[in-house]
Every structure is written in C-alpha cells, then in structure tokens.
C-alpha cells in the first residue's frame, strides 16, 4: 500500500476486493468461505482504516450478514459496497423473487445500519441480476430501464439515504445489456423525484466524500 501511495499520491484511495462465495456451483466464487470473519482479513482492514484508505467490496447477497458483522469490527473504515449488495436472480436464485428479494431487502437493510458502509447503485446490467436485457435484439432504452430498475434503486436509497449512495456505471461490464447513454439517462429520469441536494449526492457528493476526492483548485 505504501508503494501504491508513493506511485500515485493523488489518486490512490483504497483497495477493491471481491469476496463472493456461494455454495452453489452455478455461482462464481472469488474467495473462500467466511473470509470476512478471518483474523487476517480483519487485521488488514484495520491497516486500511489507520492509513485513511477505503475498501470497495463485492459480495453475493447471502453474505450480507457477514458484511454487517465485519463492518462493525472496523467502524473507522470507509466501506463501499458494490453492485446493489450482490443481488442475484439466476441459477439457484432464479424464479424465486418473493423469497430472494425479501431476503436481499432484509439483509441489505441490516447492512445499512452500519454507518461506515456506502452503497453503489449499479451493476444492474450484469446477467446475474436476472433481467433479459442482454438477450434482446434491440437494446433497452432509458425509459424502460428506469421503470425496471426503480423498485430496486428506491429501496436501496430508502435504506442508506442519498448521502450514502452513489450511481455506478459498471462499464464496460454492463454494456452487454445497454449503452452508457441509456444508463445515465435512466439515472437522470429515476432521480427526478429527489431534491437537488439528494441528486447531487447520488451523482457526485457521496463518491467525492467516500473516496476523498477534492475539486481541482
């Protein structure tokens, strides 16, 4: 970390680590089971906190209770939870929306009780979210995308507040489902019902605070 900071003192802000683990073979694993509870991982997180760096983290939604427990052990560490908290609606989680969405909502709401966790509102174009957009001959437009993503996005913002949420493009990964223009127009359409200061938080202020980005002066 010291070498990275020396190499880029004005741009190095933290570490990103995807720790997805799921017992179903259809779901891609990036880490071993229970890594967030391990002593080594938590010790590393304490180092990040002491150095004023942040942790971007990706999980599969069944791991959200592990993330809640982890976040409470490092209250001084700024954590940015990626991709809507790892909502997954394919494989073993397909065609089970009543159960899956209820579990995701409850567990994400518990994570929101940890004030050091911020949430990225993005990644919805990845096929694992369970939409069919990547299979369409004609790409989805911003109006339909807005209405489709609104229930998920709105719940996230209700739990974390705009001051702890940030819109996320997740490009180029999400371009399998829609264009960059369509996504950002959908973000604009969706956020019209929020106040000016709330929209500023979603599009800019939360990210600037979480990543300690100052405006050029």
**Average pLDDT of 22-42?**
94
Cα distance between the two ends of the chain: 27
* pLDDT of 159: 98
* pLDDT of 10: 87
**217 belongs to a structural domain:** no
**154 belongs to a structural domain:** yes
**Average pLDDT of 207-213?**
95
User: Which CATH number fits the domain that encloses residue 63?
Assistant: 3.20.20.140
Task: Examine the pLDDT at 216 and tell me if it is beyond 90.
Answer: no
**Average pLDDT of 94-99?**
96
Helix (H) or strand (E) holding 78: strand 78-81
* pLDDT of 214: 83
**Average pLDDT for the chain:** 96
Q: What Cα–Cα distance (Å) separates residue 78 from each residue in 16, 40, 53, 57, 155?
A: 12, 18, 7, 11, 22
Reported pTM:
0.95
* pLDDT of 38: 97
**215 belongs to a structural domain:** no
**Domain assignment of residue 124, given as a range:** 2-210
- Chain centroid to Cα 159, Å, comes to 13
Q: How many helices (H) and strands (E) does the chain have?
A: 9, 5
Residue 217 burial (CB count, 10 A): 3
**93 belongs to a structural domain:** yes
**113 belongs to a structural domain:** yes
Best CA proximity match to 120, nearest among 168, 64, 56, 170:
168
Number of folded domains in the chain? Answer: 1
């Amino acid at each position: 970390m010291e070498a990275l900071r020396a190499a880029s003192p004005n741009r190095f802000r933290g570490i990103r680590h995807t720790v997805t683990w799921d017992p179903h073979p259809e779901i891609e694993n990036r880490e071993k089971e229970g890594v967030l509870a391990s002593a080594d991982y938590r010790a590393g997180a304490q180092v990040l906190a002491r150095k004023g760096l942040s942790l971007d983290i990706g999980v599969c939604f069944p791991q959200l209770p592990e993330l809640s427990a982890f976040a409470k052990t490092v209250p001084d560490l700024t954590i940015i939870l990626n991709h809507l908290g790892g909502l997954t609606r394919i494989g073993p989680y397909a065609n089970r929306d009543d159960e899956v969405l209820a579990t995701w909502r409850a567990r994400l709401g518990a994570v929101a009780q940890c004030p050091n966790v911020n949430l990225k509102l993005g990644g919805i174009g990845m096929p694992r979210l369970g939409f069919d957009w990547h299979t369409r001959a004609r790409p989805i437009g911003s109006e339909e995308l807005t209405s489709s993503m609104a229930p998920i996005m709105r719940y996230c913002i209700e739990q974390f507040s705009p001051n702890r949420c940030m819109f996320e493009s997740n490009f180029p990964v999400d371009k399998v489902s829609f264009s960059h223009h369509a996504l950002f127009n959908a973000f604009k359409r969706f956020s019209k019902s929020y106040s000016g200061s709330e929209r500023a938080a979603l599009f800019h202020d939360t990210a600037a605070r979480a990543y300690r980005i100052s405006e050029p002066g």
